[in-house]
Chains A and B, each alone.
Chain A
Amino acid sequence: MTREGLGPSDLDRVFPFHVAVDRDLRVTQIGRSLAKVLPQLAIGARLFDVCVLDRPREPLTYEVLRDRCQDLCVLSANHHALVLKGQIIVRDDADVLLFLGSPRLTTADELSNLGITIDDFGIHDAIVDFLFLSHAQQSALAEVREMAERLAAQRREVREAHQRITTLYVASRVFADSPSLAIALQVLVPSLAKTLGCTSASAWRQQEDRLICDIVFPERDRIPALRLGMSRGMIAGIFATGEPMWLPTGHNLADGIIPDPQPDSIDPPTIRYSGVLPVVPVCGLPVIDGGRVVGVIAFVAPTTIPRSDDLLYLLGEIATNLTKFTTHLRTTTELAAARDAALASVRAKTEFLANVSHEIRTPLSAVIGLSTVLHGMHLRPPASAVIDDIQTAGRTLLRLVDDLLDESRIDAGKLSIELATFDLVALVRAVASPLQATAALRNLPVAVELAPELRSDLIGDHVRIGQILTNLIGNAVKFTQRGEVRVRVRCVDADATTATLTVAVSDTGIGINADQLERVFEPFTQADGSTTRKFGGAGLGLSITRRLLTLMGGTIAVTSTPGSGSTFTVELRLARAPVDLAPTSATAPGSPNTSRTRTQPALAPAGTPTIAARRRVLVVEDNPLGQRTTRLMIEQLGHDVEVVGDGAAAIEAVRRTSYDLVLMDCHLPVLDGFQATAHIRALPAPTGAIPIVACTASVMIDERRRCFAVGMDDVVIKPLSPAELRRVIESTPPPATHLPATKSLGHVLDLARIEMLRELLDGNRQVALDQMIALFRAHAPEYLASIEIGARSRDLVALRRAAHGLHGMSLNVGASALARACADVERGAATGSLSSIDPILSSYQEVLTAFAALVGTA
């Protein structure tokens, strides 16, 4: 041993796994740790009996160990896990070989196998640090794996949560939008199945003692007439309990499917959809309606799916919402039924009123008509005064009936505002003048101030505006004993397309108390109950006025000082007609007593000679009183008249005799006025083209539409005043110029254009013309339908486009009146207002009639 050599105890502390051998490889010295782990290797034991040499790969001999002392030496113990790695040191002139090493370890696990602890190693030995590091690395890796798994699980959870939320969202949308349970289930069932992870779903409902299947998802799984017993199985269970159910894994609650036609013979343990996949019920929820289980939604999969709290919650949530939905549906249906019933009763009331008004109007017409006739006979006083009173009373009564009718129509939402271009100034004058005349009798001046900036070309419902003016001015006159009534019409605001008007009607009458002021616009109210008795009227005038204004987007206000007078101010915004628009037939202002009619294109334009040619008029009227009245009036006007009592007789009469005009009552026995007109229109010209004017006591707009639809030229409302009757009769073409066919055609068609067409289209002209007409006949109905639909749905864009189309087409075939009517509607739609399409409908009818006459005649 050299001076710096280690003594045995130092060697043992530093290298507890060392071993020293002699030339025979007998152990001469051994470290404590090695001795502990490998007791066989005691002093005197031979190394090669206990170990083999792993490295170098040579036999374990003294020479090998000595010669390879520069190399790594690995000894592994026989039948033992211990492997030592180290180095040989040659000592004492080669008498002793010293092996210095330490166990070869890769994991801390091996330590416990060897039964060694930290203090079995030399302090310098890095193997322990290596173990710490390797352990740290392993635990870090394990942790990363764990994190990755947790992340994946979280992702899955998020995905599932998202799917659940989506399903709940889908469900909420479905419940909000679906009009019925069946539709809701169609959407809901597939979405739910997907969320629950089930392959198929089905909806079941009870039929007698079976459950039958309504919806199967996917559709390909449907088996015709799938039926289910109600005694066992999940679906039956849910049906019985009314609770959502999720079958535990390994359940045996299979559903018994009963396929037709032998309902009770087969009862397989599992549902087998389409015979491809055997599937088992997984979960389901009840459909509850009106507190009763009415059905079950069931979900199936190839195998059971583990119950999950979240999904069970989802099922419960959907079941709850489904119940809310059915309850909601039920109440909505009940509400709708109640609303329909209420509407029906309103409609019934309106119809009743309309009928009553018709019934009242008919005899009233007779009273007024006959008194007019008597008046015309220039009786002596006091008879003439009595007749005047009868007339006044009759007209008052008529007003009352009309007011009641308006009120009920507004209630029923049946009063529509008809837009047309009208002359405001003329309208105000026309309304005011008869009232001025009445007031003048009492020395009451009615001053009308029309602001100079007023535009006369406005678009609005002139009849209703006239009615409002009549009501206001009439009231003012009625309630003012002395002083004056003043009407101020102003335009307070205007731009290119609209004008805002104010009409202020002031009086110096009795005035209205502050507390009554609030109620003057309520129906059946007058400032003072006694005024009704004193001045007459039902107290509907102001109520109707305000409601009409509301319908037209206008307002009315009142200020009053009791004892010194009141002022009613109306504000109304109207569309302005385009400047270039020449007044059309619709510009005629309504006067208080004229009906809501327009001069129809089929009739000659206004301005016919005052000394009219004698016309021959056919009056179709079933009421004898009415017959007599009309006959008398027409005769007084100096025309010929014939009377028939029903529609069939009318057709007979026009076939037999040629008339200039038919005055047709609409409601007739045997064949009513509409049917009769349709028949007449179907006759060849000239009979088929004879002017027919409807004469009706009904003021319902629907009825007027019907009149034009069947081809009548005009509608007048009973009772007819002599003036009205004269206008109607004398606007028919006089018989002297009444050339067959072509004459009335001229009003419908632009004959010059037809001629030009004939010129232009060379070759067989008539054939070409026929083709043009055929083209019109083929395509016009389409436009017409679009116009009708556009008007009904208030789709101004569509209306404008269709009217434009028909306009062009009409111009091509020379249907000038129809073209004009279309242009009116088109222009109206362009300025944002909905004009009546009646003129188009009636003109179209005329064009067809005219074409019928034209084709094959020229």
Chain B
Amino acid sequence: MYGLVNRGLEDLIRSTYGDATWSRICQTRGLDAESFSTMQAYPDGITYDLVGAASAELGVPAAEVLERFGAYWVLYTGRQGYGELFKLAGRSVEEVLGNLDALHGRVGHSFPAFQPPEFTCTRRPDGTLHLIYRSTREGLAPMVVGLIRGLGEHFQTPVAIEHTVVRGDGHPHDEFVLRVSTPQSPP
């Protein structure tokens, strides 16, 4: 996966648990603590490994690490000069969700080494959003939850998330139903 993801994970752990914790996590996996370059594709194994090590080190389930990471990532990328790209994605939770697929699709074409996910977002009659998440990777649905929560935080728009279809058991992908409130104040 994209190095920025690993760097995001690193930043989350460094800023919430300290440099020493990050060094320990890297050590347990034999990784150099400062070796991720953001624009490079790394084997997915490294990302899973880091999540696993962080989960062990912090005593938190891997799903929660992923979710926290997702939420953090939105804020992190916003801070790390990705703000402009983020603005390209949209100016509200709904807009961003609507553009997710186009966004990742274009990323996938510009950088053939990446394998970004696919999203379909449709508005349902009851006003909720139906989000389908398709990925070549498994187990990252908690990250989607975190990312959407992050988006909500970013736009100061509370989002209720329901994971309606869980991948596996005959389901090829995950589905979510989202209730997006009106923004509390303009971003």
A128 cross-chain contacts in B, Cβ below 8 A: 88, 106
Q: Tell me whether B99 is interfacial, beta carbon within 8 Å.
A: yes
Q: Tell me whether B91 is interfacial, beta carbon within 8 Å.
A: yes
Q: List A106-124 residues whose CB lies under 8 Å from chain B.
A: 107-109, 111-112, 117-119, 123
A136 cross-chain contacts in B, Cβ below 8 A: 39, 110-111
Once bound together, how far apart are the Cα atoms of A107 and B38, in whole Å?
19
Q: Tell me whether B81 is interfacial, beta carbon within 8 Å.
A: yes
Q: Tell me whether A139 is interfacial, beta carbon within 8 Å.
A: yes
Does the CB pair A112–B99 fall under 8 Å? no
Does the CB pair B91–A143 fall under 8 Å? no
Does the CB pair B85–A132 fall under 8 Å? yes
Does the CB pair A118–B99 fall under 8 Å? yes
Q: Tell me whether A135 is interfacial, beta carbon within 8 Å.
A: yes
Q: Tell me whether B98 is interfacial, beta carbon within 8 Å.
A: yes
Does the CB pair B110–A117 fall under 8 Å? no
For chain A, the count of residues having a C-beta within 8 Å of the partner chain is 23
A117 cross-chain contacts in B, Cβ below 8 A: 87-91, 95, 99
Partner of B88, one of A131, A133, A140: A131
Does the CB pair B37–A143 fall under 8 Å? yes
Q: Tell me whether B126 is interfacial, beta carbon within 8 Å.
A: no
Partner of A139, one of B34, B39, B110: B39
Q: List B72-106 residues whose CB lies under 8 Å from chain A.
A: 81-82, 84-85, 87-91, 95, 98-99, 102-103, 106
Q: Tell me whether A670 is interfacial, beta carbon within 8 Å.
A: no
Does the CB pair A108–B85 fall under 8 Å? yes
Once bound together, how far apart are the Cα atoms of A150 and B34, in whole Å?
11
Smallest distance from the beta carbon of B94 to chain A beta carbons, Å? 11
Partner of A118, one of B34, B81, B90, B109: B90
Does the CB pair B37–A118 fall under 8 Å? no
- B87's nearest neighbour on chain A, judged by CB, is A112
Chain B: number of interface residues, binned into ranges:
20 to 34
Q: Tell me whether B56 is interfacial, beta carbon within 8 Å.
A: no
Q: Tell me whether B107 is interfacial, beta carbon within 8 Å.
A: yes
- A119's nearest neighbour on chain B, judged by CB, is B99
Once bound together, how far apart are the Cα atoms of A109 and B87, in whole Å?
9
Does the CB pair A111–B87 fall under 8 Å? yes
Once bound together, how far apart are the Cα atoms of A47 and B107, in whole Å?
36
Q: Do A112 and B84 form a contact, CB below 8 Å, given A117-B91, A143-B39?
A: yes
Does the CB pair B110–A132 fall under 8 Å? yes
B95 cross-chain contacts in A, Cβ below 8 A: 117, 119
Smallest distance from the beta carbon of A760 to chain B beta carbons, Å? 90
A123, A128, A139, A150, most chain B CB atoms within 10 A: A139
Smallest distance from the beta carbon of B32 to chain A beta carbons, Å? 13
Does the CB pair B81–A132 fall under 8 Å? no
Once bound together, how far apart are the Cα atoms of A714 and B74, in whole Å?
109
B107 cross-chain contacts in A, Cβ below 8 A: 132
Q: B30-48 CB contact bits vs A (8 Å, 1 = yes)?
A: 0000100111000000000
Q: Do A118 and B102 form a contact, CB below 8 Å, given A132-B110, A136-B111?
A: yes
Q: Tell me whether A789 is interfacial, beta carbon within 8 Å.
A: no
Partner of A129, one of B84, B91, B106: B106
Q: Do A143 and B85 form a contact, CB below 8 Å, given A118-B90, A118-B99, A129-B106?
A: no
B34 cross-chain contacts in A, Cβ below 8 A: 150
Once bound together, how far apart are the Cα atoms of A132 and B105, in whole Å?
11
A107 cross-chain contacts in B, Cβ below 8 A: 84
A132 cross-chain contacts in B, Cβ below 8 A: 85, 106-107, 110
Q: Tell me whether A142 is interfacial, beta carbon within 8 Å.
A: yes
Q: B97-125 CB contact bits vs A (8 Å, 1 = yes)?
A: 01100110011011100000000000000
Q: Do A118 and B89 form a contact, CB below 8 Å, given A128-B106, A133-B110?
A: yes
Does the CB pair A119–B81 fall under 8 Å? no
Smallest distance from the beta carbon of A37 to chain B beta carbons, Å? 14
Once bound together, how far apart are the Cα atoms of A133 and B39, in whole Å?
10
Q: Do A109 and B110 form a contact, CB below 8 Å, given A136-B39, A139-B38, A143-B38?
A: no
A135 cross-chain contacts in B, Cβ below 8 A: 82, 84-85
Smallest distance from the beta carbon of A385 to chain B beta carbons, Å? 101
B110 cross-chain contacts in A, Cβ below 8 A: 129, 132-133, 136
Does the CB pair A108–B84 fall under 8 Å? yes
- A115's nearest neighbour on chain B, judged by CB, is B91
Does the CB pair A118–B88 fall under 8 Å? yes
A139 cross-chain contacts in B, Cβ below 8 A: 38-39, 81-82
Does the CB pair A142–B102 fall under 8 Å? no
Smallest distance from the beta carbon of B153 to chain A beta carbons, Å? 20
- B81's nearest neighbour on chain A, judged by CB, is A139
Q: Do A140 and B103 form a contact, CB below 8 Å, given A111-B87, A117-B89, A118-B88?
A: no
Once bound together, how far apart are the Cα atoms of A496 and B53, in whole Å?
77
Once bound together, how far apart are the Cα atoms of A123 and B37, in whole Å?
30
Once bound together, how far apart are the Cα atoms of A117 and B90, in whole Å?
6
Smallest distance from the beta carbon of A112 to chain B beta carbons, Å? 4
B99 cross-chain contacts in A, Cβ below 8 A: 117-119
Once bound together, how far apart are the Cα atoms of A136 and B90, in whole Å?
19
Smallest distance from the beta carbon of A281 to chain B beta carbons, Å? 34
A133 cross-chain contacts in B, Cβ below 8 A: 110
B38 cross-chain contacts in A, Cβ below 8 A: 139-140, 143
Once bound together, how far apart are the Cα atoms of A129 and B88, in whole Å?
12
- B36's nearest neighbour on chain A, judged by CB, is A143
- B80's nearest neighbour on chain A, judged by CB, is A139
- A141's nearest neighbour on chain B, judged by CB, is B39
Once bound together, how far apart are the Cα atoms of A855 and B84, in whole Å?
113
B109 cross-chain contacts in A, Cβ below 8 A: 129
Q: List B132-187 residues whose CB lies under 8 Å from chain A.
A: none
Once bound together, how far apart are the Cα atoms of A107 and B39, in whole Å?
17
Once bound together, how far apart are the Cα atoms of A118 and B103, in whole Å?
7
Smallest distance from the beta carbon of A116 to chain B beta carbons, Å? 8
Once bound together, how far apart are the Cα atoms of A118 and B87, in whole Å?
9
Q: A751-795 CB contact bits vs B (8 Å, 1 = yes)?
A: 000000000000000000000000000000000000000000000
Once bound together, how far apart are the Cα atoms of A111 and B109, in whole Å?
20
Once bound together, how far apart are the Cα atoms of A117 and B99, in whole Å?
9
Once bound together, how far apart are the Cα atoms of A108 and B88, in whole Å?
8
- B34's nearest neighbour on chain A, judged by CB, is A150
- A135's nearest neighbour on chain B, judged by CB, is B85
Once bound together, how far apart are the Cα atoms of A142 and B37, in whole Å?
11
Once bound together, how far apart are the Cα atoms of A588 and B110, in whole Å?
109
Does the CB pair B102–A119 fall under 8 Å? yes
Once bound together, how far apart are the Cα atoms of A133 and B110, in whole Å?
7
Smallest distance from the beta carbon of B121 to chain A beta carbons, Å? 11
- A136's nearest neighbour on chain B, judged by CB, is B39
Can you give 25 A-B contacts (C-beta < 8 A)? A107-B84, A108-B85, A108-B88, A111-B84, A112-B84, A117-B87, A117-B91, A118-B88, A118-B89, A118-B106, A119-B98, A119-B99, A119-B102, A128-B88, A129-B106, A129-B109, A129-B110, A132-B106, A132-B107, A132-B110, A135-B82, A136-B39, A138-B81, A139-B39, A140-B39
Residues in A lying within 8 Å of B, measured CB to CB: 107-109, 111-112, 117-119, 123, 128-129, 131-133, 135-136, 138-140, 142-143, 147, 150
Known: A107-B84, A108-B87, A132-B106. 9 other contacts (CB 8 A): A111-B87, A118-B88, A118-B89, A118-B103, A119-B99, A128-B106, A135-B85, A140-B38, A140-B39
Residues in B lying within 8 Å of A, measured CB to CB: 34, 37-39, 81-82, 84-85, 87-91, 95, 98-99, 102-103, 106-107, 109-111
Which 3 A-B pairs have CB atoms at the shortest separation, nearest pair first?
A108-B84, A112-B87, A140-B39
